[in-house]
A and B are shown apart, each in its own frame.
Chain A
Amino acid sequence: MSTEKKNNDDAPAAPGGALKEAESRLHYAVRELSQSSWVITLLSVVVALVVGALLILATNPQVQATTGYFFAQPGDFFLTSFEVIRDAYSALFRGAVYDWQAATPDRAIRPITETLVNAVPLILAGLGIAIGFRSGMLNIGGQGQIILGATCAAFIGYAFNLPVGAHLLLALVGGALGGAIWGGIAGVLKAKTGANEVIVTIMLNNIALYLLAWLLRQQWFVQTGSNQPIAAPVEDSARLFGLLGTGFRLHAGILLAIAATVFVWWLLERSTLGFEFRAIGENPDAARTAGINVPKATALVLIIGGGLCGLGGAAHLLGTEYRLGAGIAGTLGFDAITVALLGRSKPLGTFLAGVLFGGLRAGGVLMQAQTGTPIDIVLVLQSVIVLLIAAPPLVRAIFFLPNPDGTAKSPRRRRLKDQQAAEAAQEPAPTQEVTK
């Protein structure tokens, strides 16, 4: 209880004012996100597909050829454009959901399982990030926590010889623990010293990356006997077992993801701890006044969030990759942030967003292989979706939707809000969470 005294919120009173303000704006944005409607999400996806289509057209050599004589034969341009977009998006769909052109029935339903395979780490890590968002903490360290999770899980997976069930369990727990420690560093630093979690987690990402690069050059770690920077494959006993037999990669990680989604829902919506988390997210001062141990809750948010990210990394490694390389995390940590944003930091929303992104990834592979459309288009789709969700007024303007408040003068209201925020920021008062 004595730690309550040195709370982080009154520590950085003088310096870091601008940072604080920027941070409260970020909190505002996150909250704004969680309040906009599902219609906006859907429309954002539509707009993203349109933007993606334009880019596909702009980069397609056949379409470029027809624009050269557009005025002579405009029909060519429109026909080719239509065909190119139809091929690209149908390949995206066939790669992500159901492939009606596949040779065998197995291959036809494989895409949806691939989507789920891709979704597993995104969901788990997305949930970890979402817990932070709900608690008013911007955990940008998903990448580092995933790396640590995968590293610990991999090492346990190949360095130990254990019976089937225990090995897998230990590897998963080890992965979660690795992530939890990495998140916990940021959590404890924030709780004890008021260190800004955004900065700390970003730095921890870099440290994790180089720690892994160093480990991969140590023979005691990789245990391969070769000097390629890639670790030995994990033992069969530590792998997440497949659910559908040969030809499918879908593994038990998806059950883990579902369980984690339910757990996070229970944690945030039904448990006392989750209430504390949300309370410090809404207003730490009020939370403290209400008798919540804010530093403890702060640290726990990042420990649990890190643990989920670590579990995501572990499931990724034990379920599909099996071998630890320097690029094990890919861009998972950053995709997880967008997944959590898209899912509005709600457990079910994050789950569905993870499936959507997993599908885009799976479909992107087939789209690239069959139509030559660059895989980067998928990244553009993801980015545009999140961009639009972050700016609901833009989507409303594009589709001429009414403002949910019933007033059509949102710009003025925004300015008013900004003004209030600026005034509040000028005051030295600790309450800067002016956003109502």
Chain B
Amino acid sequence: MRSFTPKALFSLAAVGVLALSACGEAPEEEPEEDDAAAEENGEAQADDNSDFTACLVSDAGGWDDQSFNESAFTGLQNAIEDFGIESATAESSSDSDFGPNVDAMVQQGCDLTFGVGFLLEDAIDEAAQENPDLSFGIIDSTLPSEPDNGKPLVFNTSEAAYLAGYVAASMSETDTVATFGGIQIPSVTVFMDGFADGVDRFNEDNDADVSLLGWDKEAQDGSFSGDFDDQSAGRALTEQFLAQDADIIMPVAGPVGLGAAGAIEDDGDAKLIWVDTDGYESTDYGDIILTSVLKQIAQAVYDTVEEGAAGEFTAEPYVGDLENEGVGLAPFHDFEDEVPDEVKDKIEELTAEIISGETVVESENAPQ
């Protein structure tokens, strides 16, 4: 009997909660859910593009990775809202899912299918060759056979990271800044290359001696947390950097950066530079985020879908850079007053230099 009581209480509570939550009014207008609407997530709005279907296949990170999968997903959601298109998405749980997932999208009748991440390049490439009348996109990579119906969406983030490196070097009080990556892949190290060059530029221009921890551009070697999941690894790396006197740190590791943010918050004096999205808005650590290196995947996906829906899809690669604002530096937000005007002016100057080609941020990891 004794064991019965808590169970009964729990059931009672559960039933009570369910009952309360179920007391709402029925919708006034019957939503008239016929079978077709049930299958299509009820997205068919009154727009004219409902015959266009845009689809997205993730890599193993999934749509909640706080990194490029999530950005691409956001871009698609925005496009759905604005253009009233149909959509389908598939998350891959392992590398062997890529081919079947892309194939499922093609069978679904997707007019435009994006693969997120370089790991999907083979799957997208193959599908593009087999289905010349459909369009495809690949994010953060190029397609080996360069088909006429496959658009690479790549980002030269080294340009924006260059600016971040300059800002970091100018704001460092200990003359030491640091960066680390998740995994050593080009789409990560391209950030680190640019950051390193930005720090060097500051040293050259001001005869300063700010040192960078965590990345050696020459040797292409540095600190990596090993994956894009383990926040405690990011925390441990950051604590090491802090112990070596670094006071501005740029983690290029998706959610692992949150571990770095935790360590920096505990430290009290150090600052963080976020990547991919504006960390001031996307994380809870706005008060320690000096700025963010933006990589506008969402916008690129949105634009490509718009082109596709309008029947203007081209296979011409989209290369996000400072000029087309596909990459950029986020506002300083809370640090707006602390960053000296001369640094802000210098950043604008550097931006203009990079856009004009006077300064070239070189990185062997940048998209060609």
Contacts and interface: CB of A to CB of B under 8 A. Distances in A.
Contacts of A369: 88, 90, 101, 104-105, 107-108
B77 interface: no
Interface in A53-84: 61-62, 67-73, 76, 80, 83-84
B95 A321 contact: yes
A375 interface: yes
Contacts of B105: 369
Nearest to B110: A369
A249 B99 CA distance: 10
B91 A375 contact: yes
Contacts of B39: 87, 370-371
B45 to A, nearest CB: 16
Interface stretch (B22-30, B172-180, B271-279, B347-355): B22-30
10 closest cross-chain pairs (CB), A and B: A330-B94, A70-B22, A369-B104, A327-B95, A72-B26, A68-B24, A69-B26, A73-B26, A69-B24, A365-B100
B41 interface: yes
B48 interface: no
Nearest to B224: A213
A228 interface: yes
A230 B91 CA distance: 21
A331 interface: yes
Contacts of A95: 104
A232 to B, nearest CB: 11
A67 B119 CA distance: 40
B299 interface: no
B91 A330 contact: no
Interface of B: 18-19, 21-27, 33, 35, 38-39, 41-42, 60, 88-91, 93-97, 99-101, 104-105, 107-108, 118-119, 122, 141, 183-186, 220, 364-365
Given A114-B100, A365-B104, A72 B25 contact: yes
B119 A62 contact: no
Nearest to A372: B41
A379 interface: yes
A73 to B, nearest CB: 4
Nearest to A107: B107
A229 B108 contact: no
Nearest to A99: B107
Nearest to A378: B93
Given A69-B27, A80-B33, A369-B108, A227 B364 contact: yes
A369 B141 CA distance: 23
B215 to A, nearest CB: 15
Given A327-B95, A368-B91, A229 B24 contact: no
15 contacts: A62-B38, A67-B21, A68-B24, A72-B26, A73-B26, A103-B107, A227-B186, A229-B184, A328-B95, A330-B97, A331-B94, A365-B101, A365-B104, A369-B101, A374-B91
Nearest to A316: B96
A253 to B, nearest CB: 13
A320 interface: yes
Contacts of B108: 369-370
Contacts of A249: 99
Interface residues of A, number: 53
Contact of A69 (B25, B35, B118): B25
Contacts of A332: 94
A328 B100 CA distance: 15
Contacts of B119: 230, 325, 327
Contacts of B90: 365, 368-369, 375
B217 to A, nearest CB: 13
B115 to A, nearest CB: 14
A214 to B, nearest CB: 10
A239 interface: no
Interface in A70-119: 70-73, 76, 80, 83-84, 87, 95, 102-103, 107, 114, 118
B33 A68 contact: no
A20 interface: no
A381 B26 CA distance: 33
Given A69-B24, A83-B38, A362 B185 contact: no
Contacts of A70: 22-23
Contacts of B141: 228
A311 to B, nearest CB: 16
Contacts of B35: 83
Given A67-B21, A68-B22, A375-B91, A323 B122 contact: yes
A370 B60 CA distance: 19
Contact of B23 (A71, A84, A379): A71
B24 A230 contact: no
A368 B97 CA distance: 12
A366 interface: yes
Contacts of B22: 67-71
Nearest to A79: B33
B117 to A, nearest CB: 10
Contacts of A371: 39
B294 to A, nearest CB: 23
Contact of B38 (A67, A87, A213): A87
Nearest to B94: A330
Nearest to B364: A227
B69 to A, nearest CB: 14
A352 B207 CA distance: 71
Given A327-B95, A376-B93, 10 more contacts: A217-B184, A228-B141, A228-B185, A233-B122, A321-B95, A331-B93, A369-B107, A372-B88, A372-B89, A379-B93
A84 B97 CA distance: 24
Contacts of A229: 183-185
Nearest to A73: B26
B154 to A, nearest CB: 12
B33 A62 contact: yes
A118 B97 CA distance: 10
Contacts of A376: 93
Contacts of B220: 227
Contact of B96 (A68, A84, A330): A330
A316 B141 CA distance: 24
Given A375-B91, A375-B93, A68 B185 contact: no
**Most chain A Cβ neighbours within 10 Å, of B89, B95, B220:** B95
